Each structure stands twice: as C-alpha cells, then as structure tokens.
Amino acid sequence: MERVEQEVTTERRTREERRAADRRTVDRREVDLGGYERDQLHDMLSAMLLSRRFEEKCAQSYQMGLIGGFCHLYIGQEAVAVGGIHALRDDDYVFTAYRDHAQAIVRGIEPRAVMAELYGRVDGCSKGAGGSMHMFGRDVNFMGGHGIVGTHLPLAAGVGYAIRYRGGDQVVLCYFGDSVVNGGPFHEAFNMVAKWNLPVINVVENNSYGMGTDIERVAAVDQLVSRACAYEGMHSERIDGQDVLAMHAAVAEAAERARGAEGRPTFIEAITYRYLGHSMSDAAHGTYRTKEEVQAERKNDPIATFSDRLMEAELLAREEYDEINQAAIDAVEDAAEFAENSPHPEPSAAYDNLYADEFRGGLDRRDAWR
C-alpha cells in the first residue's frame, strides 16, 4: 500500500499535531452501517459496554484490595478488541498481551470466570493461578494473556503454522501493544509469518505509550504500520481503533485474506488511547501526559461515538442503550459477587498443573519445613 511520506523531523510535535496527523493518515474511512444487521451492531455495543463496566468494577475491586498483583485496564480501547474479535469465527484463535480482561470476555470467557481469576479464586478461568495478566480459555480458543512484552507473537505464528500444517482454514488474531514493534520477537515472528504465509492477523494497539514512554520517543518510524514494508506479501493497514466498525471491517477482510492454502497475513495498526494509567499502580496523567490531553481524547470515546452514530441512524433507541448498559452492569455485579464467593485455592494447589503427566522423583521432596 502506498503511503504519504512524512517529513522527517527531529523536533517533537505537539500532542495535538500528532493526533491530528494520525487521524489524517488512517487507511479506512467511515464504514457504511448498511452492511450490518441491527443485532450485530447491538452485540458490538453490548460487548464494549460490558468491557467498560467490567474494567470500572476491576478498578473498584483493586482499590478495595480484592484484586492483587499488576492490573492493566482496557478503558478507552474497547473498539479494538470488540471490532476485531467479532469479525472472527468460533474456531479461530486469539492471543493478546497482559491487558487482557476485555479480550477474554469479548472472546467468550464468562465475566464470572474472568473476575474470579482476578480475585485469585478456584473458579477463575485459569483456576486462580494466572491472575490479571494470564487469562486463558481453551474452549473458546483464547490462548492467553501473556506477560512478557512481545513474547506471544512467535506463539501466535506457531498456531498459524499448525493451521497450515493441517491444511485448516482458521486464522489467528494476535493483539499487542505499541512498544512491541521495537523488539526482536516482532521481527522474528513477522518474518516467519510472511515467509511461510501463516494465517495470522497481527494488530498493534497503538495507544501512544509503552507504559510511560511516548512511542514517538523510542520508535524510529513515524507510523508503526510502515514496519510492514519489510515483509513481502504482508498486507498492512492503519485503522482508527476508536471506530469499532473500521476495526471490524479491517479484521473481517484480513481474515478472509488469510484463510486457506493461498492465504496472506495482515498487519493492522489500530490508533487508540487508554484513558487510565498503564496499570492500577499509576495515575491516568501527570508525569508523561497532561490532564488536558486525556480529557481531549475522552471526547473521542469509542462507545459514545458508536452509540451516537447508531442513534442518529435510528438503529438504536435511548431505551435500548439503557437496557444494554444495565445488562452490562448486572453482569459485572454478578461476576463480582460470584468471584467473592468462590473459594480460595488450597495451598497445595502450588503443585497443580505443573506437569501434564505424573512427574517422577517426588516434586515435594525438597520442600521440608512448610
């Protein structure tokens, strides 16, 4: 795909200038609502609202000490997960990084199981062993929840390899954050995906910050999507990640492109924004971005933008919105209650699932004095 060359400059642009430039340079404009059924649109709105309400509840529970460890919330980025995952078939596969609650729920893991995992309880989707960063759902092909930046890209390529190996026509959707594009696994995975035509759709969720570092300060390219030029045959596209339909359309086309023996991989850059801090341990703004910047970005809220558009097109009534929102609130409250009532694992669970089969030699032989 031909792209407009950006003027090379060593000067930092203002944040507003950069966001404006980002919006100018997306490859896909407003997607026609006519291509969607009303139910499908409502399902996407419902999934985004469920994700939003779920993460708000997580923040509350975290502050009450009910959730431990690192806890990275997805608020602001919902359209990326929902648009992409709703474009998949049930037998496709999904990977993501550690900001994984929304992806897990949208893919189909019960909110109860995700919340119980956050609470570290036995009914968690990973039996309380993984926590916030390691949601897994084998029955919905949700392959994690990975905590080391970039590590899961080669894994996603491997699932793509297995699909091709068996002559299948599924695809793998792999999400990761913007900081991944500067690390080795990104290149190693992309190179193999392109060389062997693996059915992988890689999506970088460019929320501008790798933790507290502006991506512009550490990436030697202006547009992350331009990295795709190094991989022949890989389609690439830059998307407004705050537009759920743009995201949906891009991933639907990418999936179509990837399926089957002649399939080709795709790299999508989704321009998005997280409204809260990197994790629950840091403030939404302060050291690396201003309050004004966050407020300005919140005006482009993916849920509000989408629901407004549906209402204007008379595809959504105010009462319907309220019902969908209330259902999300109810589901989240139910999930939290369920999680709180789920038992803590026994200490002996320390040895659970360490090996798939019997491990000779006595695992606990060297663990005296407990």
Partner 1 sequence: MAVITYREALNRALREEMRRDDSVFLMGEEVGEYDGAYKVSKGLLDEFGEWRVRDTPIAENGFAGLGIGAAMAGLRPIVEFMTWNFALLAYDAIVNSAAKMLYMSGGQYNVPIVFRGPGGAALQLSAQHSQVPDPWYANIPGLKVCAPATPADALGLLKSAIRDDDPVVFIESELLYNVKGEVPDEEHIVPIGVADVKREGSDVTLVCHSRMVKVCSDAAETLAEEHEVEAEIVDLRTIRPLDIDAVIASVKKTNRAVVVQEGSPYSGIGAQVVDDIQREAFDYLDAPVARVSSLDVPMHYARPVEKHILPSADAVVRAARHVCYLD
Shortest gap between Cβ of 359 and partner 1 (angstroms)? 6
Q: Measure the CA–CA gap between 292 and 85, rounded to whole angstroms.
A: 32
Structure tokens that stand for 336 in this block: 């939290």
Which residues is 209 bridged to in the sheet? 214
User: Which of these ranges, 6-14, 191-199, 239-247, 322-330, lies near partner 1 under the rule CB under 8 A?
Assistant: 191-199
State which of residues 25, 191, 197, 213 lies at the interface with partner 1 (CB under 8 A). Answer: 191
In the three-class reduction of DSSP (H, G, I as helix; E, B as strand; rest coil), residue 263 is classed as coil
State which of residues 52, 127, 235, 238 lies at the interface with partner 1 (CB under 8 A). Answer: 127
User: Which of these ranges, 31-39, 140-148, 252-260, 312-320, lies near partner 1 under the rule CB under 8 A?
Assistant: 140-148
- 43-102 positions binding partner 1, by CB under 8 A: 93
Shortest gap between Cβ of 336 and partner 1 (angstroms)? 20
Q: Measure the CA–CA gap between 200 and 266, rounded to whole angstroms.
A: 7
- Are the C-beta atoms of residues 130 and 352 closer than 8 Å to each other? no
State which of residues 185, 199, 210, 241 lies at the interface with partner 1 (CB under 8 A). Answer: 185
User: Which of these ranges, 62-70, 146-154, 267-275, 315-323, lies near partner 1 under the rule CB under 8 A?
Assistant: 146-154
Q: Binding to partner 1 by residue 197, rule CB under 8 A? A: no
DSSP 145-197: E--STTTHHHHHHHHHHHHHHHT----EEEEEEGGGGGSHHHHHHHHHHHHTT
Whichever of 145 and 302 has its CB closer to partner 1, that residue is 145
Q: Binding to partner 1 by residue 19, rule CB under 8 A? A: no
Chain length of the chain:
370
Torsion sign across C-alpha atoms 71, 72, 78, 79: negative
Shortest gap between Cβ of 151 and partner 1 (angstroms)? 6
Q: Measure the CA–CA gap between 264 and 41, rounded to whole angstroms.
A: 28
In the three-class reduction of DSSP (H, G, I as helix; E, B as strand; rest coil), residue 255 is classed as helix
- 349-368 positions binding partner 1, by CB under 8 A: 352-357, 359-363, 365-366
Shortest gap between Cβ of 235 and partner 1 (angstroms)? 21
Residues near 307 by beta carbon (within 8 Å), at least 6 away in sequence? 45, 316, 321
Percentages of the chain per state (helix, strand, coil), in multiples of 5:
45, 10, 45
User: Which of these ranges, 137-145, 240-248, 276-284, 305-313, lies near partner 1 under the rule CB under 8 A?
Assistant: 137-145
Residues binding partner 1 (CB under 8 A): 93, 124-130, 134, 136-138, 143-148, 151-165, 184-185, 187-189, 191-192, 195, 352-357, 359-363, 365-366
